[in-house]
Structure 1
Amino acid sequence: MVGQRQTVAFLGPKASYTHQATLECFDESVYDFAPQISIEDVFQAVQSDAAHRGVVPFENSTNGSVVFTLDLFADLPNRYPDILVCGEVYIGVNHCLLGHAQKLAVTVSSGSGSPESSGRATPTTSAPNPAVPRTVPLMDLKHVKKLYSHPQAWGQCKTFLSGYLKGVERQDVSSTSKAAELVAQDTGGTSAAISSRIAAKIHHLDLLASGIEDFPDNTTRFFVLRKASADASAQSSDSENHIDTNMDEDMSRYKTLVSFTVDHNDPGALAESLAVFKPYKLNLTSINARPSGIVPWNYIFFVEIKGRRLEKDGAVNAALKDLGDTAKGWRWLGSWKSEL
């Protein structure tokens, strides 16, 4: 329909970090935003044409890759054969502890800890000098009996949690904003969420602590997803699938994601598959592995390289042709402009 607004699906609810990433990429006055409950729901929305684009978290600078997203790219049940990455965005992540204030804490000097704790975890043989959190609680945390957040957040806030909330029950939820929503519904007031400052405003929660991430430059990378045309799953090369038609000397400005499997009984199969990129001077920027789901202790590998797939010829196409000779199977998952 002419003039119909296109939809962008993202991991919701609103106020999630993925929502912030979506706002960075798309103009809300032009697109309809559709928050989804899970990352898989975003994949499904794009695959089914319910959404023109999708935005999902892929990797965090502190805690590594988002395994939920990797597993969906692995796509063992073959539910999302047409999903491609067409863009990326980096969002700085400033985690806060949100909840219900009980009483004000006694003022403490910066970096010295709260009245109840120094913030330093108990020394052990393996960690005789544990780190001290970068921040101190703004309020007393004795009443907090349960924590909610996305699984990635635990690993990004390990020092603060070990120093001030060690032993408190943790509950994984689909997003940090969902965590804030659940805490807002807690009439007992004994739960807290690792979430964003904007989520505190939306859900009318108190800021119990701010900047609780381990590193000040904590950043998450998000992928923008699109659906390929009907023949893209057969690895065709056409402009409709965003395979560029022009040679570009500065290939370092672009990235490409590829997945592949190897014969685990063939010595050197993985090394040979990774080596196909070197003759074409394609720099591997990351490699991940996930269980194949077919044979125990067999894996599907993901490599990200600098460069983009062109319509004809080009270094990436040549390397992928060689990969077909060394790997059991491979799949091009998209090429896009680097925003790093």
Structure 2
Amino acid sequence: MDLTKRCMIIEEVCPRGGFAEFHIRDDTGGGGPLGTSNLSLVIRVAYLGPEGTFTEEALRTQADLVAGETIPVRSVPEVFATVERGEAELGLVPIENAIEGAVALTLDVLAFESELLIQREVDLPISLNLCARPGTTLRDVRSILTMPMAVGQCREWLELKLPGVEVRAANSTAEAAQEVSRSRKAGIAAIANAGAAKKYGLKNLATAIEDHDRNQTRFVLLGRGVPAPTGHDRTSIVCFQRSDRPGSLLAMLQEFAARTINLTKVESRPTKHTLGDYCFFIDFEGHVSEPLVADCLRTLAAKQAKVKFLGSYPVAGSGAVARRSAAGKSWRDANSWVDALQAQVRSEDE
């Protein structure tokens, strides 16, 4: 690395179990040798921007990430690219919504374009608002700007309250709010969160317009390496069939069933090769460091399919921390029991 940039990269394990590379920079601006007195650890995190997105809101629930330098970028692929170019150590992107399902673009980049791995997941409750410049009323709205995933989350409300209104796509809900705030057109509104409306000086015309009140989005943190096991982890892979034959998917799934590994998601996506050719995204409980999981992946890759590993990482959600704590105690107790048994084994000379 160019030493004139006065920075180094070190590797360190995050407090929450995730792997990260920390950017160390000289904050003094001086030209002398680097010393411990003038160094500060700054982790750089790219996220789907601009400021005010739900992704930024999810990021701000993670204390260790907020403590670093946050970098908003315009699209999901650009988040991946920013990390891959070394301009950030980590990246945060949406991957799944409770109403609309998977974020296809994120899955496709994970499967076909990037070698980054999932470091952790972050779940965020989602509430959508219709917002516009002050002075605009609901009756005035003739055009709505937002990201396609958000439209699907409030489709019923839109059909009931604003039938026939034009809907245009944006890269994010915050980008939509930003564009509406800058537009001179009358009757234009955005679907975004309350934070974006406030940041860009918009007025909420309607709040909580999502079709289901338990709406949530899952985000994934991307980086390099595999986080240490916590006792309550998830592993994600994508499987490519070696041949399209009856029972090929069943054969893959039986590898998990035979080992009593619980699947949490199975989803198909086109491989981009030919019509009808699909790959399968599979999420399951466990960590690649566990012998049973490792054996399943080994057999799956050897016998059934080409497998791309997407990561083993801590599970998010309510109760996750308590379950990890309980799992850790159970493993410690089990290790102590086995150690005690092994201590009783006689040597050959006895």
TM-score (norm 1): 0.79
User: Any residues of structure 2 matched to 1:51-200 within 5 Å, and which?
Assistant: 51-75=88-112, 79-81=113-115, 83-102=116-135, 140-200=137-197
User: Any residues of structure 2 matched to 1:15-26 within 5 Å, and which?
Assistant: 15-26=52-63
- CA drift of 1:257 comes to 0.3
Quick one: which amino acid aligns to residue 57 of structure 1? P
SS at match of 1:223: strand
- CA drift of 1:263 comes to 3.4
Tell me, yes or no, if the aligned pair for 2:43 and 2:65 is still in contact at 8 Å: no
Q: Which of 226, 232, 246 is equivalent to 1:267?
A: 246
Q: Which residue number in structure 2 is paired with residue 338 of structure 1?
A: 315
- CA drift of 1:27 comes to 4.2
User: Unmatched 5+ residue regions in structure 1?
Assistant: 104-139, 229-240
Tell me, yes or no, if the aligned pair for 2:133 and 2:201 is still in contact at 8 Å: no
CA–CA separation in structure 1 for the residues paired with 2:199 and 2:103: 26
Tell me, yes or no, if the aligned pair for 2:111 and 2:308 is still in contact at 8 Å: no
Q: Which of 239, 242, 253 is equivalent to 2:227?
A: 242
CA–CA separation in structure 2 for the residues paired with 1:145 and 1:283: 48
Provide Cα deviations, 1:111-136, integer angstroms capped at 9, x if missing partner.
Answer: xxxxxxxxxxxxxxxxxxxxxxxxxx
Which structure carries more strand by proportion?
2
Q: Which residue number in structure 2 is paired with residue 255 of structure 1?
A: 234
Q: Which residue number in structure 2 is paired with residue 135 of structure 1?
A: none
| Match status 1:9 vs 2:55 | no
| Match status 1:294 vs 2:257 | no
| Match status 1:323 vs 2:320 | no
SS at match of 2:176: helix
- CA drift of 1:326 comes to 3.6
Q: Which structure: larger Rg?
A: 2
Aligned residues: 280
Tell me: CA distance 1:72–1:175, structure 2 relative to 1, closer, same or farther (3 Å): same
CA–CA separation in structure 2 for the residues paired with 1:101 and 1:36: 28
Q: Which residue number in structure 1 is paired with residue 69 of structure 2?
A: 32
Quick one: which amino acid aligns to residue 313 of structure 2? W
Tell me, yes or no, if the aligned pair for 1:101 and 1:208 is still in contact at 8 Å: no
Provide Cα deviations, 1:27-47, integer angstroms capped at 9, x if missing partner.
Answer: 466310000100001111122
Tell me, yes or no, if the aligned pair for 2:252 and 2:305 is still in contact at 8 Å: no
Provide Cα deviations, 1:84-127, integer angstroms capped at 9, x if missing partner.
Answer: 00101111111000013546xxxxxxxxxxxxxxxxxxxxxxxx
| Match status 1:221 vs 2:218 | yes
- CA drift of 1:4 comes to 4.7
Which structure carries more helix by proportion?
2
Quick one: which amino acid aligns to residue 218 of structure 2? R
Provide Cα deviations, 1:181-237, integer angstroms capped at 9, x if missing partner.
Answer: 011112123111100111111111111000000111111010011123xxxxxxxxx
CA–CA separation in structure 2 for the residues paired with 1:47 and 1:80: 8
SS at match of 1:277: helix
Q: Which residue number in structure 2 is paired with residue 45 of structure 1?
A: 82
Quick one: which amino acid aligns to residue 20 of structure 1? E
Q: Which residue number in structure 1 is paired with residue 346 of structure 2?
A: none
Q: Which structure exhibits the higher relative contact order, with contacts defined as CA atoms closer than 8 Å and separated by 6 or more residues? A: 1
- CA drift of 1:300 comes to 1.4
TM-score (norm 2): 0.76
Tell me: CA distance 1:29–1:93, structure 2 relative to 1, closer, same or farther (3 Å): closer
Tell me, yes or no, if the aligned pair for 2:271 and 2:279 is still in contact at 8 Å: yes
Tell me, yes or no, if the aligned pair for 1:63 and 1:156 is still in contact at 8 Å: yes
Q: Percent identity?
A: 30
CA–CA separation in structure 2 for the residues paired with 1:307 and 1:272: 20
Provide Cα deviations, 1:247-289, integer angstroms capped at 9, x if missing partner.
Answer: x8x5xx2100010111343221111011111121111111111
SS at match of 1:142: helix
Q: Which residue number in structure 1 is paired with residue 36 of structure 2?
A: none
